[in-house]
């Protein structure tokens, strides 16, 4: 708005306006007849002196258009915030110094979420304090206006008190009103009076269902006073802020639920089975897409083997995460049945079809045998794994791609490959290698080159540390490469040397327990573990006796020497042994009780061809 020019005769002094204020032109007297134009110079001077004696208004009125533009800009700034701090900061930045010289924002502590009932007593916490910075006299550097401390950190709103009445009324009030004069000292706390001469507005912050806080707008004594229409501005700012805070609290709760859901869907920690070291990483696509369908898992299997799984459910939503959780649970159950990898993918495909017609996922399932130094892999539409050899050569394994899980009516094919000691297998989801800036095969080739370059740093005789390798792989991601979740599982194959393995077949006959004792004693003597012979012979005898009692085919006996001494006895009977307390008159039933007391750990796993009962003895 442009000021109209006025003649010297009718000009009145004006007061400096605030940044959002504009002075209104004063209407000059219209000299309508020619006689007034011929007045003497003395009369003109007298009229000018009389006009100059009229006092100027205390606060120039602000045009309605400017007020609306200010409210629109302020509410847009408040609405840009997503979380609680951003919204409160938006309120402070929008109002200081444009609307007020300082602002105090109080919020309920704790903030109620949605329809939950707020806790009692009603406590307000000072969330933020902003004020106009003024240069100190004689110093060009900026310093805060000496208003500290403005308020106490906490304020308990007394039921029936003056502050409670103002908050219940919802509408903003001037600080010099009777209600505010009683409420402000209670809000600011003892020892924090309202600064003398300052003009204030106390505005309750009411969300969708309840009052969640209060805002205090403050102007200095040397500035213009608040106008009645400024109460409407304060009400608009308070309303938009309160509704934004309500949404931010709900969003925060949803984000917390999403984080918890994602955390429970993925392993808290990876197992450390014999003969292999594991490391993993998971990265969501962005803060706004916390939940995805990517998952990984490592499942110990009988015979010191381990199943390595990585999968990706299509989509980014709570539904995708829920489907991922169901598929992961199904994979764990199938793994415990010791099914071949291709069979596991087949059953996962059937499960996905039962969940719905559009439940699609990719999955790669591998089983590593540290004794045989072999790995069996089956793929369902997933990116192929990369194997980093000890010498530094990285190769993309040739695995049949297969169709994604959920398509139905397709067969899955497994391949068995060498897994040499010192090699590292990297399983990943497509978010690591595919983005808007590159296709999946370009990303796989870049991953292979990155692994090879990392291996060169440690030399041909040493494998790179797993944790550092995972971090280095993620460093290849650029700013535009985080379009999808990323799940990463790395496995370092150490294997078990043949000299640390002893394996026998025993016919299911009465002499089998005695023969098992002799074989175990010879193996322990060869390993220099004679001090464990008594315990090993006793436990082997009990476990083999139970196996022979129900087996129809030869019983397997295997001893493994690693960081513990492990014994595995397999038979073709599917019934799992259960520990029970034998009565004093029973002649048997104490075998598993002895195993439980003497062994470091023990367990039993059902297989597709029977079961394996195992126990471990400490080497120390």
- Please report the pLDDT score of residue 467 as a whole number: 93
Neighbouring CB atoms inside 10 A of 184's CB total 24
Residue, of 272 and 330, whose pLDDT is higher: 330
pLDDT tier at 169 (50, 70, 90 boundaries)?
A: confident
pLDDT in tens, 5-24: 333 333 333 334 454 543 33
Kindly tell me the burial class for residue 439, based on how many C-beta atoms sit within 10 Å of its own C-beta (0-12, 13-18, 19 or more): exposed
Per-residue pLDDT tens over the stretch 445-497: 999 999 999 988 887 788 899 999 999 999 888 665 566 788 999 999 999 99
CA distance 527 to 565: 10
Strands 211-219 and 199-206: antiparallel
**8-state DSSP, 227:** P
The pLDDT, as a whole number, for residue 423 is 95
Kindly state the average pLDDT of the residues 150-167: 86
What count of other Cβ atoms lies within 10 Å of the Cβ of residue 12? 13
Write out pLDDT tens, residues 523-573. Answer: 999 999 999 999 999 999 999 998 998 899 999 999 999 888 999 999 999
Residue 504 main-chain phi, psi, to 5 deg: -145, 155
Give CA angle at 259 (257, 260), nearest 5°.
65
> Which residue has 């050899």 as its token pair?
389
Please, are residues 179 and 173 in contact by the beta-carbon 8 Å criterion? yes
CA distance 512 to 243: 77
In sequence order, what are the residues at sequence separation of 6 or more whose Cβ sits closer than 8 angstroms to the Cβ of residue 439? none
Q: Which of 50-64, 189-203, 235-249 has the highest mean pLDDT?
A: 235-249
User: What pLDDT, on the 0 to 100 scale, is given for residue 189?
Assistant: 83
Residue 241 has pLDDT above 50, yes or no: yes
pLDDT of residue 257: 78
Tokens for 513, please give them.
Answer: 């327990």
pLDDT at residue 142 in the model: 43
Between CA 603 and CA 613, with CA 609 as vertex, the angle to 5 degrees is 15
Residues paired with residue 423 on neighbouring β-strands, in sequence order: none
Helix axes 318-336, 341-355, angle to 10 degrees: 140
Angle at 345 between CA 342 and CA 347, to 5 degrees: 110
Least confident of 98-107, 194-203, 240-249, 269-278: 194-203
pTM, rounded to two decimals: 0.67
- What is the mean pLDDT of the segment spanning 390-416? 91
Give the separation between CA 341 and CA 306, rounded to whole angstroms.
12
Side by side, the strands of the sheet bearing 555-561 are 501-506, 555-561, 564-571, 610-618, 601-607
Q: 567: which residues sit within 8 A by CB, 6+ positions away? A: 520, 536, 539, 540, 543, 557, 558, 559, 560, 614, 615, 616, 617
Bridge partner residues of 605 (DSSP): 612
Nearest to 212 by CA among 258, 172, 246, 261: 246
Q: What is the pLDDT of residue 237?
A: 94
CA distance 208 to 113: 11
Over residues 362-392, the pLDDT tens digits come to 999 999 999 999 999 999 999 999 999 998 8
600 phi and psi, to 5 degrees? Answer: -70, -45
Average pLDDT value over all residues in the chain = 82
Distance CA 173, CA 168 (A): 12
Q: What is the CA radius of gyration of the chain?
A: 39
- Among candidate residues 402, 387, 426, the one with its CA nearest the CA of residue 345: 402
Write out the DSSP string of 73-84. HHHHHHHT--SH
The torsion angles phi and psi of 338, rounded to 5 degrees, stand at 60, 40
Whether 126 and 153 have beta carbons less than 8 Å apart is answered as yes
The two three-digit tokens of residue 199, written as one number: 């003009």
pLDDT above 90: percentage of residues in the chain = 43
**Pairing assessment for the beta strands 386-388 and 306-313 based on DSSP bridges:** unpaired
Instruction: Read off the DSSP letter of residue 163.
Output: H
Least confident of 109-118, 355-364, 547-556: 109-118
């Amino acid at each position: 708005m442009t000021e109209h020019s006025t003649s010297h005769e009718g000009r009145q002094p004006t007061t400096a306006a605030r940044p959002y204020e504009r002075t209104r032109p004063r209407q000059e007297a219209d000299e309508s007849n020619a006689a007034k134009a011929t007045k003497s110079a003395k009369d003109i001077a007298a009229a000018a002196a009389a006009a100059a004696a009229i006092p100027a208004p205390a606060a120039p009125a602000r045009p309605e258009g400017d007020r609306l533009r200010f409210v629109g800009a302020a509410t847009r700034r408040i609405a840009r915030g997503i979380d609680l701090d951003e919204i409160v900061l938006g309120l402070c930045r929008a109002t200081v110094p444009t609307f007020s010289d300082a602002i105090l924002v109080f919020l309920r502590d704790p903030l109620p979420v949605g329809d939950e009932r707020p806790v009692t007593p009603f406590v307000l916490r000072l969330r933020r304090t902003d004020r106009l910075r003024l240069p100190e006299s004689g110093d060009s550097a900026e310093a805060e206006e000496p208003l500290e401390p403005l308020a106490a950190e906490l304020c308990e709103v007394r039921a029936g008190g003056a502050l409670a009445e103002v908050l219940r009324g919802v509408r903003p009030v001037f600080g010099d009103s009777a209600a505010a004069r009683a409420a402000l000292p209670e809000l600011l706390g003892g020892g924090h009076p309202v600064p003398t001469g300052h003009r204030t507005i106390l505005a309750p912050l009411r969300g969708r269902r309840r009052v969640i806080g209060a805002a205090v707008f403050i102007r200095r004594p040397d500035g213009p006073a608040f106008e009645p229409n400024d109460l409407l501005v304060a009400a608009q700012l308070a309303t938009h802020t309160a509704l934004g805070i309500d949404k931010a609290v709900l969003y925060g709760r949803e984000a917390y639920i999403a984080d918890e859901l994602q955390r429970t869907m993925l392993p808290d920690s990876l197992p450390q089975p014999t003969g292999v070291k594991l490391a993993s990483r998971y990265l969501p696509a962005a803060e706004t897409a916390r939940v995805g369908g990517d998952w990984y898992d490592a499942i110990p299997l009988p015979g010191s083997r381990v199943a390595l799984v990585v999968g990706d459910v299509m989509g980014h939503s709570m539904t995708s995460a829920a489907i991922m959780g169901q598929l992961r649970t199904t994979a764990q159950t199938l793994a415990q049945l010791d099914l071949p990898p291709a069979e596991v993918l087949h059953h996962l495909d059937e499960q996905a079809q039962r969940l719905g017609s559009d439940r699609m996922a990719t999955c790669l399932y591998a089983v590593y045998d540290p004794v045989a130094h072999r790995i069996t892999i089956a793929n369902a539409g997933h990116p192929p794994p990369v194997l980093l050899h000890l010498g530094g050569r990285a190769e993309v394994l040739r695995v049949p791609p297969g169709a994604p899980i959920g398509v139905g009516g397709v067969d899955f094919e497994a391949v068995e490959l060498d897994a040499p000691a010192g090699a590292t297998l990297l399983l990943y989801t497509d978010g690591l290698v595919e983005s808007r800036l590159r296709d999946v095969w370009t990303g796989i080739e870049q991953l292979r080159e990155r692994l090879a370059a990392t291996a060169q740093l440690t030399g041909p005789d040493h494998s790179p540390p797993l944790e550092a390798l995972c971090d280095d792989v993620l460093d290849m991601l650029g700013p535009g490469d985080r379009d999808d979740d990323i799940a990463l599982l790395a496995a370092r194959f150490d294997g078990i040397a043949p000299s640390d393995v002893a394996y026998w077949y025993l016919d299911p006959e009465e002499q089998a327990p005695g023969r098992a004792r002799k074989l175990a004693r010879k193996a322990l003597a060869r390993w220099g573990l004679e001090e464990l012979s008594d315990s090993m012979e006793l436990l082997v005898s009990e476990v083999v006796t139970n196996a022979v009692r129900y087996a129809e085919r030869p019983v397997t006996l295997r001893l493994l020497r690693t960081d513990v001494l492990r014994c595995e006895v397999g038979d073709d009977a599917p019934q799992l042994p259960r520990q029970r307390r034998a009565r004093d008159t029973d002649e048997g039933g104490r075998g598993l009780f002895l195993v439980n007391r003497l062994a470091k750990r023990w367990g039993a796993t059902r297989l597709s061809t029977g079961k394996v009962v195992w126990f471990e003895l400490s080497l120390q």
